[in-house]
Amino acid sequence: MTSRAGPLAAGWHEAGSGRRSQYVFTRDFATADGHRVMVAALTPRQFADLATMARLARTFAFLERLLPADFSTRGDLYTHRATLAALLAPWFARRTVADLAAAFAATSVPWTHAADHCGWEPGVPTRPPSPPGGR
């Protein structure tokens, strides 16, 4: 499976360093198969692709009129990120990582399977390394 983890990994790191304004919408989502994917919309085109892929473009356009907001701007996209994530979460929750890989392949949206980035998978227990000598 291929993901666009380069820019996403940088965004994930930067989000933790306090420079969030550079990376506008970065969020992890649970999937139907119990995994997590990390998604980023760093440009207006990427956010539009994400909205179209999730079939939420009309919903987001309505929300822009209602708030009012402009999700093609960094400030509004960042300000309303929790609302946008809440609307996107059910779409991700109904799909497996394989489904998402196929869907993302036709978009400009950077994404990664959480296990690809940090070696952690939900539901998979981690075990400390064995001590020297196998004890």
pLDDT given for residue 5 in this prediction: 46
Task: Determine, yes or no, domain membership for 124.
Answer: no
pLDDT given for residue 104 in this prediction: 94
Task: Determine, yes or no, domain membership for 126.
Answer: no
Task: Determine, yes or no, domain membership for 134.
Answer: no
Does residue 3 contact residue 101 with C-beta atoms inside 8 Å? yes
User: What residues make up the domain containing 100?
Assistant: 5-118
Residue in the structure block whose two tokens are 């996403």:
8
Tokens of 88: 């996107």
The count of other CB atoms within 10 Å of the CB of residue 9 is: 18
Does residue 43 contact residue 131 with C-beta atoms inside 8 Å? no
pLDDT given for residue 24 in this prediction: 79
pLDDT given for residue 132 in this prediction: 53
CATH number of the CATH domain containing 13:
3.30.1540.10
Tokens of 30: 């649970």
E strand or H helix that includes residue 27: strand 25-30
pLDDT given for residue 19 in this prediction: 47
Task: Determine, yes or no, domain membership for 45.
Answer: yes
Task: Determine, yes or no, domain membership for 47.
Answer: yes
Task: Determine, yes or no, domain membership for 55.
Answer: yes
pLDDT given for residue 118 in this prediction: 53
Task: Determine, yes or no, domain membership for 11.
Answer: yes
Q: How many domains does the chain have?
A: 1
Mean pLDDT by 10 residues, the chain (135 residues): 44 41 78 94 92 97 95 90 96 96 93 68 41 51
pLDDT given for residue 34 in this prediction: 94
Task: Determine, yes or no, domain membership for 42.
Answer: yes
